[in-house]
Structure 1
Amino acid sequence: MRSTISAPEVRILLTDAASVESAGAAVRACAVSKGFAAERATRFQVVVEELIRECRMREVASTSPSDVSVEVSFDGSNLDVTVIDHRMPLSAAQSRQLPSRRLLALGFADHLHIGFTGATGNIARCRLTTASAVPDDALHVDMLEPDVPDAPDVEQIDLDVRLMTPADAEGLVQCVFRCYGYTYPNPSMYQAAAIRRMLESGSMFSVVAIDASGEVVGHVACTFERPDDVIPEAGKMIVDPRYRGHHLAERLSLTRKDVAADRGIPGMWSETVTNHPASQRLAIERGAAEVGLLIGVGPQSMAMTGLPNQESVRHSFLAVFTPTFTPTFTATSQLPAATLTVPRYAAEHVSTLADRLGIQRAIGTASQEPDLVRSRIHSYASALAGTVEIRVRAIGRDIAEQVVDALDQHLAMAPATVHLDLPATDPAAAWAVAQLERVGFAWCAWMPAFLAAGDAIRLQRVNDHPILLESIVCARAEGEQVRDFVIAQWTRVHRGRSATE
């Protein structure tokens, strides 16, 4: 079982007399010890020291402590530092002006969130991830390579497809090298220690193919982006060039699906490329169905060998969901029945998708104002990928105001796309969608069981970057229906039109 708690490994309490540099040096040492390159660790140290200085600039009340707390935790793939102070509450406008925002925009950290959280105080969280600036991890795309000579059938028979163990980490690094040289976009996959940490922490589980000589010749994984995630993202498919053409990718994927089912994981979420339908077909053959379209989420610099690429535009991805099931489980039993509240225009669309996946969903469309005054949201940004992710944990009447404040906090990095996940089981979900459309968010995807609370409605806000919608290719008519629905909603919101027009 994967751990759902990442307890701090280091806690530092800085008095007013303590040096900022001492805490920064401790964070840098932690980063280096976890396998991060010295240069990245040093840049991250600069961010932490700046956050502490910003704390000390705020006014101290006579009844409140002036100390600054620094906590460091590591979950196998993410090094998180939390800086807490109990000084003058930080306003959203003040947060937007902090110098640390510029450091995020320059890539000194991978994620940064700063805000006032009531009695808990002012909290700043920054993150360094082993998969920064990585299209494969950031976008969870299975990358396809051109065909190469295959291994003889006799060698294929001897392959052992099984769950990966930490002892296989060095063999996986060699497999990545044989497949991609040093061009694979995820640097953590060249670090055996980083791979072992992800496996041991439970943030990733993998399936490997081992040949008769003991070499790793294939790999697929499921990765949990956050410790409390219910649905992992499927990706990191790597097949030794000698073994392509023998359906090894299918064998690896089916075994991964069985492992997920045995662990009680109800499904897997992944994003398939739309400049070529091959990865979509592979997912569909494994039982996946199209549930959304992520417009312009791929960086302009992303290019996949052997596939058509459009320069100077951001790529779009077709989101798919794969229910897991074994002879003793069915998709319906793993995904219990639920009642969702969605906008009226999306009711038939979501009902069709649920039927296609065999998931029982009752659909309501009432626009009910929430009882809560204040929403609970969490946001983080990847400066190098150019994206901002927002999760709404509780819907309050200030939802649009809070989301705009969150966007303003990341203004310096000029994000190309913003994704926002709403709990679809909240009776106020349809009301919240209408409020968020007014600030530029449009329907993106329905995500079954994605949140701890259940299904999610993902909205997207696409900023002013080149996007080529005409080149989006779908493998089947069902995907085209999803594509056309999402593009229609995005176009409507982009033009400032209401859903009733």
Structure 2
Amino acid sequence: MRVLFQLDLPNADGSVAIAQAACLRAADQLRLAPEKRMRLELAVEEVVVNAVRHAYPSGVSGSLRVTASVEGAVLTVRVQDWGLPYDPSEITPFSVEDPQLRGLGLHLAWRCCDEAVLRNLGRDGKVFDLRFRLPPSPVPVPEPAVEAAAVPAARGAGRVEADVRLFTPADAPGVARCAWLAYGYSKPDDHLYDPVELARLNRDGLMVGIVAVGGDGEVVGHACLDLSGNPLVPEFTDLVIVPAARGNPVLLGRILQLGYDTAVARGCLGVLVNAVTAHTVSQRGALRFGGVPIQVHLASVSPEWDLTAGSGKEAGASAGGKAAVRQSEIALYCRNRTGEPRLLHCPERHRAMLRSIFAAFDEPVTIADAVPPEPASLPPASDLLVESGLLAWGHVLIDVQAYGQDLIPSVAAFLRRFCQDGVATVLLQLPLGDPATPAMADRLERLGFSFAGIFPQAVRKAGAPEKDAGPADPDHDRATDIILFQYLNNVSIDPGSERIVSACQPLYDYVVAERRRVDREFYALSGVE
């Protein structure tokens, strides 16, 4: 273990900035990516502030020790105090229903780290260990020894022979190795690198894994149906293929086919595919199965994710292989069966685009021509669900389940706090079945949100969500159509660096134009075309 620094500080407010400055200096020495550097700064701030304010009784002087060390490929920042003992279970859990947002600071700190641990050391006080992986570059994978007849000379590495089948628990270590060979530790999905967690998610029905296994028994590709949020329309995600097996459309097509067939067998309405704009492979794969572009998440992909590892440089990649700017994602909906006929209410400005999207997959919806007036009366409180599970990617989701008189100030308050905490993008979901949505959407756009797309048949849990509630139950949960908006917090988009196939271009151009319109009208940004 190599110690980078050790600071002994008083429990005073000024210690926070000193600890942050030292940690950022260490981050620069270690060449942390800008987004991980920002997450380190936020985590250190929240934990040191917590120690300064709560470790010792009011009026009692005490000391803190902040230490940074590197062991292997892990940076650990330890914040130690010798104040009042307490059990980790006594920490106030964060709840979006708490108007004071107690516990949000430590909740965000935990989310910013790759791993966080609180330990009591008896007479040595207690420590918070904040751990951050230092992603190595993926190692080159030797080309497998296969018969010349099995490998066309023009596309050598991409023609690895593989058996595509459903995941078994014995595949978990191989999937983790596959993810590392594909992207190092740069992909912000911790479960992909954790064999125990991969096995648990599949066992508990939260995902259905699909693996491609080479002739030597090694996993060379992986994808899954994520059932944790919406079993009616699961996301096809976690696609990783080792560099030696890339460039093989047949292998990719077989993985996609098994995923789609599995969704059909489960009775799903469809499958959602989030395709990155750093390349066109996943976009074309979803289109091959009848995918319709329904959303564009601008600047949604962390620049820390090495999207081009092992496959050569493409547009949008920096010299180090990682994206020079935050890349976007295009969500495509591959429909299996239609939903029930329904009436939807959308903002007048976006009505033509929504009609075009729904018509593309022939969904039986009617979009009201008239915009209903703003409701004369609403209940005092809105029903909001805030999901921060994607903080590693830099986003937070605010799901408006029911409108109340406090909607605009409540969303503005959350937005202010998330921006202060360095969240890159905030997504906002509104129910298209509610006649109040057109009026509310116009007001929310004045906060800086811009149109991002729709989500047909999104699942809403019946009643208040519970912690670790597990997958949604189609027999008890309700489905509704969603219109999606997004807020960009000091992050920029570079359409020139993104690669869009022609079928996705109209929606992409519309979403970019709406982002620029909001920037011009509500931020008075000059020079925005």
TM-score by length of 1: 0.67
In structure 2, the partner of 1:163 is 166
The corresponding residue for 1:423 is 431
Other structure's SS at 1:249 match: helix
What is the CA distance between 1:181 and its match in structure 2?
6.1
Range that drifts further, 197-206 or 179-188 = 179-188
Structure number with greater Rg is: 2
The code of the aligned residue for 1:479 comes to C
Shift of 1:297: 1.7
Distance 2:352 2:490 in 1: 30
1:195-234 equivalence runs, <5 A? 195-212=198-215, 214-224=217-227, 226=229, 230-234=232-236
Residue 377 of structure 2 is aligned to residue 377 of structure 1: no
Which residue is equivalent to 2:408?
Answer: 400
Pair 1:354-2:362 in alignment: no
Question: How do 1:163-202 and structure 2 match up within 5 A?
Answer: 163-176=166-179, 179=182, 186-202=189-205
Indicate how the Cα distance of structure 1 residues 276 and 91 shifts in structure 2: closer, same or farther if over 3 A, else same: closer
CA distance, structure 1, for counterparts of residue 277 and residue 363 of structure 2: 26
Which residue identity is paired with 1:376? D
- Asked whether the 8 Å contact 1:205–1:223 carries over to 2, the reply is yes
- SS of aligned partner of 1:83: coil
The question of 1:259 aligning with 2:262 is answered yes
Q: How does 1:484-499 map to 2 (within 5 A)?
A: 484-496=509-521
User: 1:383-418: per-residue Cα shift (whole Å, max 9, x none)?
Assistant: 543322111111223221111121233243122211
Whether the aligned pair in 2 keeps the contact of 1:217 and 1:243 (CA below 8 Å) is yes
- Per the TM alignment, residue 446 of structure 1 is displaced from its structure 2 partner at its CA by 1.0
Amino acid at match of 2:386: S
1:321 to 2:333 alignment: yes
Asked if 2 retains the 8 angstrom alpha-carbon contact of 1:423 and 1:451, the reply is: no
Offset of 1:291 from its aligned partner? 1.2
Partner residue, 1:60: none
Question: What code does the residue aligned with 1:359 have?
Answer: E
Residues 89-121 of structure 1: CA distance to partner in whole angstroms, max 9, x if unpaired?
A: 9974x54897647746964889xxxxxxxxxxx
One-letter code of the match for 2:495? L
Could you say if the C-alpha distance between residues 149 and 275 of structure 1 is closer, same or farther in structure 2, counting changes exceeding 3 Å? same
Match of 1:291 among 273, 294, 308: 294
Does structure 2 retain, via aligned residues, the 8 Å contact 1:96–1:408?
no
Give the partner amino acid of 1:348. A
Distance 1:188 1:133 in 2: 17
Change (3 A) 1:174 1:472: closer
Counterpart in the other structure of 2:449? 441
Cα distance in 2 for partners of 1:69, 1:394 equals 37
Quote the offset at 1:310 in angstroms. Answer: 5.1
Contact 1:96–1:409 at 8 Å: present in 2 too? no
| Aligned 8 A contact 1:229 1:450 in 2 | no
Which stretch shifts more, 162-171 or 250-259? 162-171
Q: Comparing 186-195 with 335-344, which one deviates more in the overlay?
A: 186-195
CA distance in 2, matches of 1:105, 1:243: 33
Spell out, residue by residue over 1:61-91, the C-alpha distance to the aligned partner (whole angstroms, 9 max, x if none).
Answer: xxxxxxx99989xxxxxxxx97389xxx997
Asked whether the 8 Å contact 1:96–1:410 carries over to 2, the reply is no
- My pick for the range that moved more, 268-277 or 198-207, is 268-277
Number of the residue aligned with 1:122: none
Give the structure 2 partner of residue 391 of structure 1: 399
- Counterpart check, 1:268 vs 2:271: yes
Q: Which runs of 5+ in 1 are unaligned?
A: 1-39, 58-67, 73-80, 111-129, 135-142, 325-330
CA distance in 1, matches of 2:94, 2:425: 29
The residue type paired with residue 463 of structure 1 is N
The question of 1:465 aligning with 2:491 is answered: yes
> Out of 474, 487, 501, which is 2:500 matched to?
474
Q: Which moved more, 1:180-189 or 1:352-361?
A: 180-189
Deviations 1:106-148 (A, max 9, x none): 64889xxxxxxxxxxxxxxxxxxx99999xxxxxxxx9x9997
Q: Is 1:308 the equivalent of 2:318? A: no
Which amino acid is the alignment partner of residue 486 of structure 1? V
Q: In 2, Cα distance between the equivalents of 1:462 and 1:277? A: 24
Give the whole-Å Cα distance in 2 for the aligned partners of 1:169 and 1:106. 25
Counterpart residue number, 2:240: 238
Hey, what does 2:508 align to over in structure 1? 483
Partner of 1:21: none
SS in 2 for 1:495: helix
Give, in angstroms, the shift of residue 496 of structure 1: 2.2
Structure 1 partner of 2:466: none
Q: Deviations over 1:178-221 (max 9, x none)?
A: 55566665443232212111111222211123345544333211
Query: What secondary structure, in the 3-state scheme, does the structure 1 residue paired with 2:485 have?
Result: strand
* 2:302 aligned partner, one-letter code: P
Provide closer, same or farther for how the CA distance between residues 148 and 285 of structure 1 changes in structure 2, counting only shifts above 3 A: farther
Q: Deviations over 1:209-261 (max 9, x none)?
A: 334554433321122454x6643222222334554426111101111111112
SS state of the match for residue 414, structure 2? helix
Q: Structure 1 280/151 Cα, relative in aligned 2: closer, same or farther at 3 Å?
A: farther
User: Per the alignment, do residues 105 and 268 of structure 1 end up closer, same or farther by CA in structure 2, a change over 3 Å counting?
Assistant: closer
How far apart in 1 are the matches of 2:255 and 2:227?
Answer: 19
Q: Which has the higher contact order (CA 8 A, sep 6+)?
A: 1
Partners of 2:300 and 2:331 in 1: CA distance:
11
Which residue identity does 2:514 align to in structure 1? Q
2:120 corresponds to which residue? Answer: none
Superimposed CA distance per residue, residues 257-294 of structure 1 (whole angstroms, 9 cap, x where no aligned partner): 11112112222223222233232111111221111221
Aligned to 2:371: 366
Q: Secondary structure at the match of 2:521?
A: coil
- Please tell me the residue identity of whatever aligns with 1:360: P
Separation of aligned partners in 2, 1:235 and 1:437: 30
CA spacing shift, 1:208–1:109, aligned 2, 3 Å: closer
Q: Report the CA distance shift for 1:420/1:69 in structure 2 as closer, same or farther (over 3 A).
A: farther
Please show how residues 125-144 of structure 1 align to structure 2 within 5 Å: none
Scaled by the length of structure 2, what TM-score is found? 0.63
> Any idea what SS the aligned residue of 2:290 has?
coil
Stretches of structure 2 that go unaligned for 5 or more consecutive residues are: 1-39, 58-85, 117-130, 152-158, 319-323, 461-478, 524-529
